[in-house]
Amino acid sequence: MSRLLGGTLERVCKAVLLLCLLHFLVAVILYFDVYAQHLAFFSRFSARGPSRALHPAASSSTNCSRPNATAPSSGLPEAPSARPGPTAPVLPPCPDSPPGLVGRLLIEFTSPMPLERVQRENPGVLLGGRYTPPDCTPAQTVAVIIPFRHREHHLRYWLHYLHPILRRQRLRYGIYVINQHGEDTFNRAKLLNVGFLEALKEDSTYNCFIFSDVDLVPMDDRNLYRCGDQPRHFAIAMDKFGFRLPYAGYFGGVSGLNKSQFLRINGFPNEYWGWGGEDDDIFNRISLAGMKISRPDIRIGRYRMIKHDRDKHNEPNPQRSRSSPGFFLLSPYVSGPSAGLISAAPARFTKIQNTKLTMKRDGIGSVRYQVLEVSRQPLFTNITVDIGRPPSWPPRG
């Protein structure tokens, strides 16, 4: 009996021992498995973090030698050259026919027009009267040049109407008011030469130049202030001329030439002091250079003039005396078969007929002046210049 009991107890002990051994083996296997996982985890962490901290230059050199490779971030700010910055969106070309034009405009000069109001109406215009369309790329950069003296009242109306028109036309442009210093006789064409040179000094990309009197406002925004293959005459139908072209060779009021056209005719003449004559000389220069005048449709090229008395020291130049026969200027104030004929001095015609001789020596290459002040206003750039005095003319008679 005791021998049977002892045999059973021995078998139980062996079973327990086997179970304990099996448990131990399982525990060892699980231990090494967990250990291996932890070891792999810490190995990955160690390979990423410390290598970066100890060798930042190696990471940087990897980017330099392999432009398309990407390296893990170090958490430190990177140099600007290492990360491509945002690229500016490529704007489409501005359309030849801007979609925002309204056509015929109502132009009036009775309401008060403070500059503060004009500035509020044109928030996109930058200091100096510069503007660039935000949604397209213009083909031209336009400098609008205004010969000026003592016309602040007119300038406010001009800015009020022209800034919105030019913005709707999707132009990249700048406004330059060329102010003649002093009280000597006015010289419109010489001031325009000055404006051409000074605008290019500020921005050499100007390739279209619009020359505009300050008292002329277009009545239709489809009259696009751009330059073309030929010199452009914009103001072809003014209200003071009954909305018709006064004569075939008229090139006054508002005109435009690109840079090469302007240089081709040696700019404008500098020797016409006082009112009149220079526009006919410019027309001759264009014709002698083998170019033709382009004009808008007469229904679109309509302008209103701000009525005013002729300025002091802007009397007809000494070659425009109306006391001698021989020269005829069309006038809208005479009707009938002789409409528009008023006499003026033949000396003025003599000068204009000599344009072929004078245009090479008198023009943009010979203009002399001194800039006294450049002031960039919110709506325009004012350039005050001393252009000298006219020569003393011998007394007539």
* 320 has catalytic annotation: no
- This prediction has a pTM of 0.71
DSSP per-residue string spanning 121-181: H-TTPBTTTBB--SSSB-S-EEEEEEEESS-HHHHHHHHHHHHHHHHHTT-EEEEEEEEEP
With a CB cutoff of 8 Å and minimum separation 6, the contacts of 41 are none
Among 310, 322, 368, 389, the active-site one is 310
User: Is 392 in a helix, a strand, or coil?
Assistant: coil
| Active-site residue, 309 included | no
The first and second tokens of residue 327, run together, are 């020269």
Closest CA to 189 of 87, 50, 284, 104: 284
221 flagged as catalytic: no
Q: Which of 305, 320, 359, 362 is catalytic?
A: 305
Catalytic residue among 198, 278, 281, 362: 278
Give residue for tokens 């609008």.
144
Annotation marks residue 279 as catalytic: yes
Active site (annotated) includes residue 220: no
| Residue type at position 57 | A
pLDDT band at 337 (very low <50, low <70, confident <90, very high): very low
User: Is residue 116 annotated as a catalytic residue, yes or no?
Assistant: no
Residue 117 above 90 pLDDT? Answer: yes
Question: What per-residue confidence (pLDDT) applies to 307?
Answer: 83
Instruction: Tell me the percentage of the chain whose pLDDT exceeds 70.
Output: 71
| 239 part of the active site | no
Helix (H, G, I), strand (E, B), or coil: what is residue 270? coil
- Cα 113 from Cα 160, distance rounded (Å): 8
Higher-pLDDT residue of 45, 240: 240
Residue 361, classed as helix, strand or coil, is: coil
Q: Is 152 a catalytic residue?
A: no
Which listed residue (198, 215, 271, 362) is catalytic?
215
Catalytic residue among 198, 213, 221, 362: 213
CA-to-CA distance for 12 and 24, rounded, in angstroms? 18
